[in-house]
Amino acid sequence: MANPFDLSGRTAIVTGANTGIGQAIAVALAEAGASIAAVGRSSMEETEALVSKAGSRFHAIKADLSTIEPVKAIVAETLSAFGRLDILVNNAGIIRRADAVDFTEEDWDAVIDTNLKTAFFLSQAAGRHMLEQGSGKIINIASLLSFQGGIRIPSYTASKSGLAGITKLLACEWAGRGVNVNAIAPGYFSTNNTTALREDPDRSAAILARIPAGRWGTPAELGGAAVFLASAASDYVHGTVIPVDGGWLAR
């Protein structure tokens, strides 16, 4: 029987693929056979080495996703490099922390623009191609904050709640046309975005006490969910937000 998780011959765009969650997802997709177009602002050398080690093709695209300006070029460059586009992972994101009463418009706009606006318009650009070919997989990286309020991260919470909603909207529009749109909601993972939390003894202890698994996640532990949503194994999965959270939402 054919392996439903096999991504051989597929091409994936992964944003924010230079480090952390994006890098881990890019490597997992590569290990399943996909070629990787990695998008980010900084060096992709480490990601390229890991993808090449997995035996897959790699192409780096330097782009600043704080605006939608590079969106069309990202899709065009991917098609030029690999001749096809099958998977999009909207992972790039930023976070700004401050009490709600002190939060600035600048910090609000910066997070919403990167995490939500660009993710939507990149989905639109990729989606146009996928709809034309009659197939495609879009995976948005949401968050536990798609389900909960959190503290001191108002724009991040708004962006991730919005991303979950956009995931469902696009699924409603595109499911019948061969394109799957779903999301992964990571829990508390050891990444650059959580450095401040992990270095705060009180906050770190409170977080760990709430996680049934009793530890922070590692980015590689998101790879399985990403491969599932990118592959034929999820062909009848549309509009879902899958938590990968060590049991956080179960408690």
SS3 readout for 112-161: HHHHHHHHHHHHHHHHHHHHHHCCEEEEEECCHHHCCCCCCCHHHHHHHH
**What integer pLDDT is reported at residue 140 of this predicted model?**
99
11-244 belongs to CATH 3.30.160.60 = no
The catalytic residue among 156, 188, 189, 248 is: 156
**What integer pLDDT is reported at residue 193 of this predicted model?**
79
For the chain, what's the residue count?
Answer: 251
Whether the pLDDT of residue 187 is over 60: the answer is yes
Mean pLDDT of the chain: 97
Would the pTM count as exceeding 0.85? yes
Taking only the tens place, the pLDDT of each residue in 239-249 is 999 999 999 99
Whether the pLDDT of residue 225 is over 80: the answer is yes
Residue 7 pLDDT grade (very low, low, confident, very high; cuts 50, 70, 90): very high
In degrees, to the nearest 5, what angle opens at C-alpha 246 toward C-alphas 245 and 247?
90
Taking only the tens place, the pLDDT of each residue in 8-55 is 999 999 999 999 999 999 999 999 999 999 999 999 999 999 999 999
Of 123, 197, 204, nearest in space to 153 by CA: 197
| Orientation of helix 71-82 relative to helix 118-133, angle to 10° | 40
Percentage of the residues of the chain whose pLDDT score is greater than 70 = 100
Taking only the tens place, the pLDDT of each residue in 125-166 is 999 999 999 999 999 999 999 999 999 999 999 999 999 999
**What integer pLDDT is reported at residue 192 of this predicted model?**
84
Whether the pLDDT of residue 1 is over 70: the answer is no
**What integer pLDDT is reported at residue 196 of this predicted model?**
85
Residue 93 pLDDT grade (very low, low, confident, very high; cuts 50, 70, 90): very high
Known active-site residue 156: yes
